[in-house]
Copies of this chain bind each other. A is one copy, B any other.
Amino acid sequence: MRIINTLESLASALQELSHPVGLVPTMGALHQGHLELVRRAKSENESVIVSIFVNPTQFSPKEDFSTYPRNLSSDTQILSQEMVDLVFTPSPQEIYPPGFDTWVEVKQLSDRLEGRHRPGHFKGVSTIIVKLFNLIRPDKAYFGEKDAQQLQIIKKLTVDLDMGIEIVSVPTVRNPEGLALSSRNNHLEPDQLNAAPIIYRALNFGKTMIKNGELDCKTLRTNIESIISESPLTTIEYLSISDLETLEELEVVDRPVLISTAVRIGQVRLIDNVKIIDREL
């Protein structure tokens, strides 16, 4: 497995890889959720590249860029065991040299949900993804469903900008208690870790309510929020029931929906979601 950290060495290393090439973009601190992406990529491609880059432009100055978990040596060891062909782990200076000033933005999708609470976040995400796609030119790229809005935005920009790359989504991986795996879980204290699974339980309760015929979003939101709030450690940032594709907030469940939430537990901000595509079981 080659570990590459400059654009120049990347260009020559890419020429030695057989196509199709699968790319798994990550911010490192790899967990089982990332490994699911890697294994799916391995099963569908001749070569697999994993990028590890904590992208500064998707963090606001108030956010956790400096404290975001980093664990490069453990990450590369894991990826080597997974038989990944190439790990691309550039420095911020390599990706954003002085004077960098070009930005990609998916307008409407970026203003909702996470975008309302993290202004500029998806502009940073969209820009780094276009750069990685252009640098690596993969045939397919793999993203987790935990970041549902990110997934929709990347699908949209790939089509809108004619990137010619297939976006593959992979279901969220959870711990035995149901908590969605996230690098940020590393920052949870034991009591916070015990409290966190209530998020998924609440989302699932909403899903059950919908399947049982409750279609009023206000009622659904109130019920789901009240479950999350049962723990004294949780603070809800938003709880949304939206169109699965456009992420427009809904009043009535009259189409496939995404129930998504951002919850703070102490200093840690966690997101999760469930989707309901078909109300008939």
User: Which residues on A are within 8 Å of B, measured CB to CB?
Assistant: 7, 100-109, 126-127, 130-131, 134-135, 156-157, 160-164
Q: How far is the CA of A154 from the CA of B109 in the complex (A)?
A: 26
Q: Given A101-B156, A156-B101, A161–B106 Cβ distance below 8 Å? A: no
Whether A100 and B160, one on each chain, are in contact in the complex, defined by CB atoms closer than 8 angstroms, is yes
CB distance from A219 to the nearest CB of B (A): 31
Cβ-closest chain B residue relative to A132: B162
Whether B101 and A103, one on each chain, are in contact in the complex, defined by CB atoms closer than 8 angstroms, is no
Q: Which residues of the partner chain B approach A105 to less than 8 Å between Cβ atoms?
A: 102-103, 105
Q: Which residues of the partner chain B approach A160 to less than 8 Å between Cβ atoms?
A: 100-102, 131
CB distance from A88 to the nearest CB of B (A): 12
CB distance from A125 to the nearest CB of B (A): 12
Cβ-closest chain B residue relative to A110: B101
Whether A104 and B101, one on each chain, are in contact in the complex, defined by CB atoms closer than 8 angstroms, is no
Q: Which of B101, B108, B126, B157 contacts A108 (CB 8 A)?
A: B101
Whether A156 and B108, one on each chain, are in contact in the complex, defined by CB atoms closer than 8 angstroms, is no
Q: How far is the CA of A109 from the CA of B157 in the complex (A)?
A: 23
Whether A102 and B134, one on each chain, are in contact in the complex, defined by CB atoms closer than 8 angstroms, is no
Q: Which of B102, B108, B164 contacts A104 (CB 8 A)?
A: B102
CB distance from A185 to the nearest CB of B (A): 32
Whether A134 and B162, one on each chain, are in contact in the complex, defined by CB atoms closer than 8 angstroms, is yes
Q: How far is the CA of A160 from the CA of B157 in the complex (A)?
A: 17
Q: Which residues of the partner chain B approach A100 to less than 8 Å between Cβ atoms?
A: 160
Whether B102 and A161, one on each chain, are in contact in the complex, defined by CB atoms closer than 8 angstroms, is yes
Whether A109 and B101, one on each chain, are in contact in the complex, defined by CB atoms closer than 8 angstroms, is yes
Whether A134 and B104, one on each chain, are in contact in the complex, defined by CB atoms closer than 8 angstroms, is no
Q: Sort A-B residue pairs by CB-CB distance and give the 3 closest, nearest first.
A: A102-B160, A134-B162, A102-B157
Q: How far is the CA of A108 from the CA of B100 in the complex (A)?
A: 10
Q: Given A103-B107, A105-B102, A134–B156 Cβ distance below 8 Å? A: no
Cβ-closest chain B residue relative to A102: B160
What would be 15 A-B contacts, judged by CB atoms less than 8 Å apart?
Answer: A100-B160, A101-B107, A102-B105, A102-B106, A102-B107, A102-B156, A102-B157, A103-B104, A103-B105, A103-B107, A130-B161, A131-B160, A134-B162, A134-B163, A135-B162
Cβ-closest chain B residue relative to A153: B102
Q: Which residues of the partner chain B approach A164 to less than 8 Å between Cβ atoms?
A: 134
Q: Which residues of the partner chain B approach A157 to less than 8 Å between Cβ atoms?
A: 102
Q: Which of A7, A103, A108 has the most CB of B within 10 A?
A: A103
Cβ-closest chain B residue relative to A136: B162
Q: How far is the CA of A130 from the CA of B160 in the complex (A)?
A: 10
